[in-house]
Amino acid sequence: MLDSKIELHDFNANLQRLRNSLTRKNLPTKIHVPDGNTNSDGLALFAQAIIDNLKMADEVRQYDTIILKSCYSASAIKSNEQLEKFKHGLSETIMNLRRLSPNLHLVILTPPPRRRWLTSTDEIERVRTFCDWAVSTLPDENLAVIDLHNKLSSKNGTLAKKYCRSLPFDQHPNEKGSRLGLQLICDQLNMIRPKQPI
């Protein structure tokens, strides 16, 4: 369970708006995600766009924690060059958000795995490399990495059967997988909460 004192706002990439997660009401803030790209290179542009907009920057500074998650498309890393681009993009995202608020807490989720017939051995190895890099190099006092990819993966690096939905081409985890991801996030936020002033 999540600490009842924690207020959540989530970002709907389709509406490009923040909304209150309890009331489900959209907040006035409208933030453009370039090309709807939530891969780490797109998140870097997203963070830069916030910095470039003074009103948005002021609003983002009101948050003490930001959680970043890419879609499952971020697990389809086609080349070593793209792998390095994704690493650089996530590093840039972190740097830009910390320019806004040096004491900001960041929680990074590694990208969820893809289904077996919608990926390749090379892509699996690259995304594992990306996740291992994120887990081993990014965490610090104000940054945590939740390795969602490996939590939802089978031994072969694809979405575990117990987390697959019934539709064969649906890459999203089922309710069991979603609840696991939610619990990991709640646990992390509850660990951050005691550090914040009441």
The answer to whether the Cα torsion of 75, 80, 82, 83 is positive or negative is positive
CA nearest neighbour of 154 among 145, 164, 146: 164
pLDDT class of 16 with cuts at 50, 70, 90: low
- What six digits make up the tokens of 20? 């209150």
Domain ranges of the chain: 9-195
d(CA 51, CA 58): 9
Residue located via tokens 């019934």: 166
Give the mean pLDDT of the chain.
82
3-class state of residue 112 by DSSP: coil
**In this predicted structure, which of 35-39, 92-96, 135-139, 154-158 has the lowest mean pLDDT?**
35-39
Q: Are 93 and 102 in contact (CB under 8 A)?
A: no
Q: Which of 135, 141, 66, 137 has the alpha carbon at shortest distance from 106?
A: 66
What span, in angstroms and rounded, lies between the C-alpha atoms of 194 and 47? 27
- Return the structure tokens found at 190: 């509850």
Distance from C-alpha of 134 to C-alpha of 128, rounded to nearest angstrom: 10
* pTM for the model: 0.83
User: What is the CB neighbour count within 10 angstroms for residue 103?
Assistant: 9
Percent of the residues in the chain that have a pLDDT greater than 90, as a whole number: 37
Burial label, 15 (beta-carbon count in 10 A; 0-12, 13-18, 19+): exposed
Report the relative pairing of strands 17-20 and 26-30 from DSSP bridges: antiparallel
- pLDDT tens for 112-152 read 999 988 899 999 999 999 999 999 999 999 999 999 999 99
Q: Which fold has domain 9-195?
A: Rossmann fold (3.40.50)
CB atoms within 10 A of CB 142: 17
CA–CA dist 49, 65 (Å, integer): 18
92-117 average pLDDT score: 89
Mean pLDDT of the 164-169 span: 86
